[in-house]
Amino acid sequence: MEETKLMEKKVHPLEEYFRKERLPHIWCSGCGLGIAMTSFLYAIKELEIPKEKVAVVSGIGCSGRVAGYVKMDSYHTTHGRAIAFATGLKLAKPDLYVVVFSGDGDIAAIGGNHLIHAARRNMDLTVICVNNFNYGMTGGQFGPTTPLEAITTTTPYGNFEYPFNLPHLAYSSGATFVARWTVLHAYQLRQSIKKALLRKGFNFIEVISPCPTGFGRPNKIGEAIDEMRYYKENSIIRNGIDPKEAELSFRGKIVVGEFVEEERPSFLEIYQKFLKEKGVEK
Protein backbone atom coordinates (compact mmCIF):
# COMPACT_ATOMS: atom_id res chain seq x y z
CA MET A 1 0.00 0.00 0.00
CA GLU A 2 1.44 3.24 -1.15
CA GLU A 3 -0.28 5.26 1.58
CA THR A 4 1.00 2.96 4.34
CA LYS A 5 4.54 3.42 3.07
CA LEU A 6 4.07 7.15 3.05
CA MET A 7 2.78 7.03 6.61
CA GLU A 8 5.84 5.12 7.70
CA LYS A 9 7.98 7.83 6.15
CA LYS A 10 5.73 10.44 7.77
CA VAL A 11 4.89 11.88 4.38
CA HIS A 12 1.37 13.09 3.75
CA PRO A 13 -0.13 11.31 0.73
CA LEU A 14 -0.96 14.70 -0.77
CA GLU A 15 2.37 16.29 0.06
CA GLU A 16 3.34 17.01 -3.52
CA TYR A 17 0.12 19.00 -3.97
CA PHE A 18 0.82 21.49 -1.20
CA ARG A 19 2.99 24.53 -0.92
CA LYS A 20 4.48 23.19 2.28
CA GLU A 21 6.21 26.44 3.10
CA ARG A 22 2.77 28.05 3.36
CA LEU A 23 1.55 25.67 6.05
CA PRO A 24 0.12 25.62 8.69
CA HIS A 25 -3.06 27.08 7.24
CA ILE A 26 -5.03 29.87 8.86
CA TRP A 27 -8.32 28.00 9.27
CA CYS A 28 -9.86 27.52 12.71
CA SER A 29 -9.89 24.09 14.29
CA GLY A 30 -13.06 22.28 13.30
CA CYS A 31 -13.35 24.16 9.99
CA GLY A 32 -14.45 22.00 7.07
CA LEU A 33 -12.22 23.64 4.50
CA GLY A 34 -9.38 21.18 5.00
CA ILE A 35 -11.64 18.28 4.07
CA ALA A 36 -13.03 20.14 1.08
CA MET A 37 -9.52 20.97 -0.12
CA THR A 38 -8.13 17.48 0.34
CA SER A 39 -11.19 15.97 -1.37
CA PHE A 40 -10.33 18.13 -4.36
CA LEU A 41 -6.64 17.18 -4.25
CA TYR A 42 -7.43 13.48 -3.94
CA ALA A 43 -9.68 13.82 -6.96
CA ILE A 44 -6.77 15.31 -8.96
CA LYS A 45 -4.42 12.62 -7.70
CA GLU A 46 -6.74 9.71 -8.42
CA LEU A 47 -7.47 10.99 -11.91
CA GLU A 48 -3.71 11.33 -12.41
CA ILE A 49 -4.11 14.80 -13.81
CA PRO A 50 -0.66 16.43 -13.95
CA LYS A 51 -0.77 19.21 -11.43
CA GLU A 52 0.70 21.72 -13.88
CA LYS A 53 -2.49 21.25 -15.89
CA VAL A 54 -4.71 22.42 -13.04
CA ALA A 55 -5.31 26.05 -12.13
CA VAL A 56 -7.12 27.03 -8.95
CA VAL A 57 -8.87 30.37 -8.75
CA SER A 58 -10.27 31.76 -5.51
CA GLY A 59 -11.92 34.93 -4.36
CA ILE A 60 -11.75 36.45 -0.89
CA GLY A 61 -12.59 34.87 2.42
CA CYS A 62 -11.59 31.72 4.28
CA SER A 63 -12.30 29.51 1.26
CA GLY A 64 -10.38 31.95 -0.89
CA ARG A 65 -7.23 30.90 0.91
CA VAL A 66 -7.26 27.51 -0.80
CA ALA A 67 -5.46 29.04 -3.78
CA GLY A 68 -2.59 29.94 -1.49
CA TYR A 69 -1.95 26.41 -0.27
CA VAL A 70 -2.09 24.25 -3.39
CA LYS A 71 1.03 23.70 -5.44
CA MET A 72 -0.56 24.49 -8.76
CA ASP A 73 -0.98 27.68 -10.73
CA SER A 74 -3.20 29.43 -8.27
CA TYR A 75 -4.81 32.84 -8.23
CA HIS A 76 -6.25 34.63 -5.23
CA THR A 77 -8.34 37.31 -6.92
CA THR A 78 -10.65 40.09 -5.71
CA HIS A 79 -13.84 39.47 -3.76
CA GLY A 80 -16.48 37.73 -5.85
CA ARG A 81 -14.52 37.70 -9.09
CA ALA A 82 -13.06 34.21 -9.12
CA ILE A 83 -15.50 32.94 -11.76
CA ALA A 84 -14.89 35.93 -14.04
CA PHE A 85 -11.12 35.48 -13.72
CA ALA A 86 -11.44 31.74 -14.31
CA THR A 87 -13.53 32.41 -17.43
CA GLY A 88 -10.70 34.45 -18.93
CA LEU A 89 -8.06 31.93 -17.92
CA LYS A 90 -9.98 28.95 -19.29
CA LEU A 91 -10.65 30.66 -22.61
CA ALA A 92 -6.97 31.58 -22.90
CA LYS A 93 -5.83 28.08 -21.94
CA PRO A 94 -8.56 25.59 -22.88
CA ASP A 95 -6.31 22.61 -22.07
CA LEU A 96 -6.12 23.58 -18.38
CA TYR A 97 -8.47 22.19 -15.75
CA VAL A 98 -9.68 25.46 -14.24
CA VAL A 99 -11.25 25.08 -10.82
CA VAL A 100 -12.89 27.82 -8.82
CA PHE A 101 -12.65 27.24 -5.10
CA SER A 102 -14.43 29.82 -3.02
CA GLY A 103 -17.08 30.47 -0.44
CA ASP A 104 -20.82 31.09 -0.46
CA GLY A 105 -20.49 34.81 0.24
CA ASP A 106 -17.88 35.23 -2.47
CA ILE A 107 -19.69 33.21 -5.11
CA ALA A 108 -23.36 33.86 -4.35
CA ALA A 109 -23.44 37.42 -2.98
CA ILE A 110 -20.81 39.75 -4.44
CA GLY A 111 -20.05 37.26 -7.19
CA GLY A 112 -23.62 36.13 -7.80
CA ASN A 113 -23.84 37.82 -11.16
CA HIS A 114 -20.73 36.01 -12.38
CA LEU A 115 -22.08 32.69 -11.11
CA ILE A 116 -25.37 32.86 -12.95
CA HIS A 117 -23.84 34.11 -16.18
CA ALA A 118 -21.04 31.55 -16.26
CA ALA A 119 -23.72 28.89 -15.68
CA ARG A 120 -25.87 30.39 -18.44
CA ARG A 121 -22.94 30.19 -20.87
CA ASN A 122 -22.23 26.62 -19.75
CA MET A 123 -18.67 27.88 -19.36
CA ASP A 124 -16.15 25.08 -19.02
CA LEU A 125 -15.37 25.40 -15.31
CA THR A 126 -15.65 23.43 -12.11
CA VAL A 127 -16.89 25.54 -9.22
CA ILE A 128 -16.48 24.21 -5.68
CA CYS A 129 -18.47 26.46 -3.41
CA VAL A 130 -17.90 25.88 0.28
CA ASN A 131 -21.00 26.97 2.17
CA ASN A 132 -20.52 27.69 5.86
CA PHE A 133 -23.63 29.88 6.08
CA ASN A 134 -21.79 33.06 7.05
CA TYR A 135 -18.91 35.42 6.31
CA GLY A 136 -16.27 33.73 8.42
CA MET A 137 -13.16 35.74 7.61
CA THR A 138 -14.74 39.04 8.63
CA GLY A 139 -16.00 37.58 11.88
CA GLY A 140 -19.32 35.88 11.29
CA GLN A 141 -21.78 38.15 9.53
CA PHE A 142 -24.85 36.82 7.71
CA GLY A 143 -24.66 36.12 4.01
CA PRO A 144 -26.75 34.95 1.06
CA THR A 145 -27.00 31.41 2.43
CA THR A 146 -27.62 32.17 6.11
CA PRO A 147 -30.87 30.45 7.07
CA LEU A 148 -33.87 32.47 8.17
CA GLU A 149 -33.74 33.23 11.90
CA ALA A 150 -30.08 32.23 12.33
CA ILE A 151 -27.98 34.43 14.61
CA THR A 152 -24.86 36.14 13.27
CA THR A 153 -23.03 39.30 14.31
CA THR A 154 -25.20 41.33 11.91
CA THR A 155 -28.41 39.42 12.57
CA PRO A 156 -28.38 39.64 16.38
CA TYR A 157 -32.17 39.25 16.47
CA GLY A 158 -32.18 36.41 13.95
CA ASN A 159 -31.91 36.60 10.16
CA PHE A 160 -34.83 38.40 8.50
CA GLU A 161 -33.83 37.23 4.99
CA TYR A 162 -34.42 34.06 3.00
CA PRO A 163 -31.31 32.22 1.82
CA PHE A 164 -30.40 31.00 -1.64
CA ASN A 165 -30.77 27.35 -2.48
CA LEU A 166 -27.46 27.26 -4.37
CA PRO A 167 -27.97 24.06 -6.42
CA HIS A 168 -31.34 25.41 -7.56
CA LEU A 169 -29.78 28.75 -8.45
CA ALA A 170 -26.95 27.12 -10.41
CA TYR A 171 -29.26 24.70 -12.21
CA SER A 172 -31.87 27.26 -13.15
CA SER A 173 -29.06 29.47 -14.48
CA GLY A 174 -27.82 26.70 -16.76
CA ALA A 175 -25.29 24.55 -14.90
CA THR A 176 -25.13 21.06 -16.41
CA PHE A 177 -23.67 19.26 -13.39
CA VAL A 178 -24.91 20.13 -9.90
CA ALA A 179 -24.09 18.35 -6.66
CA ARG A 180 -24.13 19.01 -2.94
CA TRP A 181 -22.32 17.18 -0.17
CA THR A 182 -21.35 17.97 3.38
CA VAL A 183 -17.73 17.61 4.45
CA LEU A 184 -18.83 14.44 6.24
CA HIS A 185 -19.38 12.95 2.78
CA ALA A 186 -15.72 13.26 1.85
CA TYR A 187 -15.73 10.15 -0.32
CA GLN A 188 -18.82 11.11 -2.30
CA LEU A 189 -17.51 14.66 -2.61
CA ARG A 190 -14.28 13.36 -4.09
CA GLN A 191 -16.20 11.24 -6.60
CA SER A 192 -18.35 14.20 -7.64
CA ILE A 193 -15.30 16.44 -8.07
CA LYS A 194 -13.71 13.75 -10.24
CA LYS A 195 -16.83 13.58 -12.35
CA ALA A 196 -16.94 17.36 -12.67
CA LEU A 197 -13.28 17.61 -13.67
CA LEU A 198 -13.82 15.23 -16.56
CA ARG A 199 -16.89 17.02 -17.82
CA LYS A 200 -17.24 19.93 -20.23
CA GLY A 201 -19.45 22.85 -19.35
CA PHE A 202 -20.37 24.40 -16.03
CA ASN A 203 -20.07 22.12 -13.02
CA PHE A 204 -21.25 23.34 -9.63
CA ILE A 205 -20.58 21.55 -6.35
CA GLU A 206 -21.79 22.95 -3.06
CA VAL A 207 -19.94 21.74 0.03
CA ILE A 208 -21.70 22.23 3.35
CA SER A 209 -19.07 22.96 5.95
CA PRO A 210 -18.98 23.67 9.68
CA CYS A 211 -17.81 27.06 10.87
CA PRO A 212 -17.59 26.53 14.62
CA THR A 213 -16.22 30.03 15.21
CA GLY A 214 -18.43 32.19 13.03
CA PHE A 215 -21.68 30.26 12.76
CA GLY A 216 -21.55 27.45 15.29
CA ARG A 217 -20.95 29.53 18.39
CA PRO A 218 -23.72 32.13 18.09
CA ASN A 219 -26.22 29.48 17.06
CA LYS A 220 -25.25 27.16 19.91
CA ILE A 221 -24.42 24.34 17.52
CA GLY A 222 -21.58 23.15 19.69
CA GLU A 223 -18.20 21.83 18.66
CA ALA A 224 -17.30 20.88 15.10
CA ILE A 225 -17.73 17.26 16.01
CA ASP A 226 -21.32 17.99 17.01
CA GLU A 227 -21.86 19.57 13.62
CA MET A 228 -20.44 16.48 11.90
CA ARG A 229 -22.75 14.32 13.99
CA TYR A 230 -25.59 16.58 12.90
CA TYR A 231 -24.66 16.04 9.24
CA LYS A 232 -24.60 12.30 9.87
CA GLU A 233 -28.02 12.24 11.44
CA ASN A 234 -29.75 14.71 9.17
CA SER A 235 -28.34 14.25 5.67
CA ILE A 236 -30.55 12.58 3.12
CA ILE A 237 -28.97 11.39 -0.12
CA ARG A 238 -31.31 12.01 -3.04
CA ASN A 239 -29.46 11.73 -6.33
CA GLY A 240 -31.17 13.04 -9.43
CA ILE A 241 -33.83 15.16 -7.76
CA ASP A 242 -34.88 18.56 -8.99
CA PRO A 243 -32.57 20.92 -7.07
CA LYS A 244 -35.66 22.95 -6.27
CA GLU A 245 -36.44 20.24 -3.72
CA ALA A 246 -33.02 20.58 -2.10
CA GLU A 247 -33.83 23.66 -0.07
CA LEU A 248 -32.05 23.96 3.28
CA SER A 249 -33.58 25.25 6.47
CA PHE A 250 -32.17 26.27 9.83
CA ARG A 251 -31.18 23.06 11.61
CA GLY A 252 -33.43 21.05 9.29
CA LYS A 253 -32.65 18.09 7.05
CA ILE A 254 -29.79 18.41 4.54
CA VAL A 255 -30.55 17.00 1.13
CA VAL A 256 -27.31 15.95 -0.56
CA GLY A 257 -26.39 14.11 -3.73
CA GLU A 258 -25.68 14.55 -7.40
CA PHE A 259 -28.80 16.37 -8.47
CA VAL A 260 -28.13 17.23 -12.09
CA GLU A 261 -26.08 15.69 -14.86
CA GLU A 262 -27.10 16.90 -18.29
CA GLU A 263 -25.46 17.08 -21.68
CA ARG A 264 -25.48 20.40 -23.46
CA PRO A 265 -22.68 21.81 -25.65
CA SER A 266 -20.40 24.02 -23.58
CA PHE A 267 -19.17 27.50 -24.53
CA LEU A 268 -15.84 26.13 -25.73
CA GLU A 269 -17.43 23.32 -27.68
CA ILE A 270 -19.69 25.75 -29.52
CA TYR A 271 -16.83 28.16 -30.17
CA GLN A 272 -14.39 25.46 -31.28
CA LYS A 273 -17.02 24.07 -33.64
CA PHE A 274 -17.24 27.52 -35.23
CA LEU A 275 -13.44 27.72 -35.63
CA LYS A 276 -13.39 24.31 -37.26
CA GLU A 277 -16.25 25.04 -39.65
CA LYS A 278 -14.72 28.35 -40.62
CA GLY A 279 -11.30 26.73 -41.04
CA VAL A 280 -9.59 29.28 -38.82
CA GLU A 281 -5.84 28.89 -38.45
CA LYS A 282 -4.25 30.60 -35.48
Partner 1 sequence: MKAKILTGTHYMLGDHACAEGAIAAGCRFFAGYPITPSTEIAEWIARRIPLFGGIYIQMEDEIASITALIGASCGGVKSMTATSGPGYSLMVEGIGLAVMLEVPCVIVNVQRGAPSTGLPTLVGQGDVMQARWGSHGDYEIIALSPNSCQEMFDLTIKAFNLSEKYRVPVTILADEAVGHLREKVVIPPQEEIKIINREKPKVPPEEYWPYVPNENLVPPMAIAGEGYYVHMTGLTHDERGYPDITGEAHEKLVRRLIDKIQKNKKDIIEYEEIMIDDAEIVVVSFGITARAALRAVKEARKKGIKAGLFRLITIWPFPEERIAEISKKIEKFVVAEINQGQIRREVERARLNGVPVIGVHKLGGDLITPDEIMEGIWKKQN
Binding site for partner 1 (CB under 8 A): 19, 21-22, 51-53, 55, 57, 67-68, 71-78, 81, 84-93, 95-96, 113-114, 116-117, 271, 274-275, 278-282
Residue 31 or 118 having the CB closest to partner 1: 118
Amino acid at site 205: I
Q: At what angle do helices 33-47 and 186-198 cross, to 10 degrees?
A: 50
Minimum distance, C-beta of residue 105 to partner 1, in the bound complex (Å): 16
Is residue 122 a contact partner of residue 201, using CB atoms and an 8 Å limit? yes
Minimum distance, C-beta of residue 185 to partner 1, in the bound complex (Å): 29
Residue 67 or 130 having the CB closest to partner 1: 67
Residue 99 or 248 having the CB closest to partner 1: 99
Residue 78 or 172 having the CB closest to partner 1: 78
Q: What is the rounded CA–CA span in Å between residue 254 and residue 237?
A: 8
Q: What is the rounded CA–CA span in Å between residue 179 and residue 65?
A: 22
Minimum distance, C-beta of residue 139 to partner 1, in the bound complex (Å): 17
Minimum distance, C-beta of residue 14 to partner 1, in the bound complex (Å): 15
Phi and psi for 211 in degrees, rounded to 5?
-130, 80
User: Could you give the C-alpha distances from 206 to 12, 174, 220, 222, 265, in angstroms and in order?
Assistant: 26, 15, 24, 23, 23
Residue 187 or 274 having the CB closest to partner 1: 274
Minimum distance, C-beta of residue 19 to partner 1, in the bound complex (Å): 7
Give the CA radius of gyration of the chain. 18
